[in-house]
Amino acid sequence: MSEYKVTDPYTGAVVKEFPTATDDEIRAAIERAHAAFEPWRTTPMAERAAILTKAAQAFTERSRELAEIIRTEMGKPLGQGVAEAEFSAEIIQYYADNAEDFLADEVLQVRAGVDARIRKAAQGVVLGIMPWNFPYYQVARFAFPNLMLGNTVLLKHAPQCPWSATVIAEILEEAGLPAGAYENLFATNDQIGEIVIPDPRVRGVSLTGSERAGAAVAELAGRHLKKVVLELGGSDPFIVLSTDDMDAVVQAAVDTRFENSGQSCNASKRFIVVDELYDEFSRRLGEAVAAVEVAGPDDEDALVGPLSSQAAADRLREQTAKALAEGAQVLAGELAEQGDARVRPALLAGVTEQMEAYREELFGPVGTVYRAKDADDAVRIANDTPFGLGARLFCADPELALAIADRLDVGMVSINGASAEDYDMPFGGTKRSGFGRELGPHGMEEFMNKKLVVAG
């Protein structure tokens, strides 16, 4: 039986199956990507941009169709699926429009009479190992800057997302991308580890996924001296120090915790609130959480759908049940067993340092709220985690907000509701949340040869 199949989390039914590639098919795909590299990297920039522009247009024009596919694959509510497809189009167009500027020579200021510059060049075949929670967006932010740079791409999508993976490859083919420049791999983890990463023609690996997967890929890539980029888990703090608009803060808390059914690495998962605001914030957030409904398959504008699979729902229930057994309390919502992939949103309090849930990532619609004595205590709680992806901070004092942001051990900080995630801003973390950056100009540099050329 193939690993690659679509199981509808709304019904539990298997909708489609796709054959897992054989070893010979994997080797042939690597050869095609390697053979395509030289002609692709020497294709004029304007021609590469025109192909990507056509792909971006297809993502926009087919956004409803693409949304319906991932609703079936991993349960994303339709409105969010449309938004993801359209945002992916914006990412693609951003690199098509700006790559020429990003790839311009960097002239260095050196001694008189010497011309020294960095020439920015593609490296070759790069491998992307993608997750299921954003089937289009994650691919867009890895594959398209690399294609625009001139690299060729091998793409292993999550086994539960083969339908969307197939459609992405079809869009690129229809846009005019040369054969071999983007190869979709329905490979097993063993094939990736035994065939793809060790192949000397593969120059780098990018993985978005779990800590366990990241550690395994990083170890293997290091053994073969391959550059690796990792975007892993997160337990992002949402810190409330002061505010002139509690309504906006509570709404931001709901949106940032429960979008995509809480299945985002950079979702706010820990709400850390200073003592004087804690009671009001927790009461109002609890009321908002209790009002959130789990979507049905035809709900257009729902915030929360089922989790991506029965296994994901079972894992979240196990984590929360253990926290409750250890002394945590349900502040709002419901944690009743439902026997399927639907998990009602809930808010926990009383999670202490002695509990596993204190440092685990809860990947679903369950948040935890913490009382902090003051700003220093809030920083201590926020940093007391193995993760370091992002943070959200609400503070009415701009100078204090920047000072607190400097003390947070994360890769991204959003202050007073400002978005720290867009196509033109670098995305990535520190500590066990991984390393490397995607999006923005930096997203084109991870698998780039920055070649020094000196003339005297």
Which residues are catalytic, by number? 231, 265
Would you call 346 helix, strand, or coil by DSSP? strand
Contact, 169 vs 182, CB < 8 A?
yes
Contact, 236 vs 390, CB < 8 A?
yes
Would you call 336 helix, strand, or coil by DSSP? coil
Comparing C-alpha atoms, which of 373, 332, 291, 324 is closest to residue 316?
324
Q: What's the rounded Cα separation, in Å, for the pair 79 and 303?
A: 9
How far, CA to CA in Å, does 71 sit from each of 8, 10, 99, 133, 167?
8, 9, 32, 11, 14
Would you call 159 helix, strand, or coil by DSSP? coil
Contact, 41 vs 122, CB < 8 A?
yes
Contact, 405 vs 379, CB < 8 A?
no
CB atoms within 10 A of CB 251: 15
Q: Which two tokens stand for residue 65?
A: 């169709």
Q: What's the rounded Cα separation, in Å, for the pair 331 and 279?
A: 11
Residues 6+ apart with CB under 8 A from 450: 106, 118, 119, 120
**DSSP conformation class of 294:** B
How far, CA to CA in Å, does 208 sit from each of 70, 87, 88, 229, 427?
18, 18, 16, 8, 12
Torsion of Cα atoms, 170 then 174 then 177 then 183, to 10°: 10
How far, CA to CA in Å, does 278 sit from each of 60, 110, 183, 250?
42, 55, 51, 12
Contact, 233 vs 388, CB < 8 A?
no
Number of H helices, E strands in the chain: 13, 20
Comparing C-alpha atoms, which of 414, 415, 382, 438 is closest to residue 235?
382
**DSSP conformation class of 441:** G
C-alpha 130: how far from chain center: 9
What is the torsional sign of CA 200, 204, 208, 213? positive
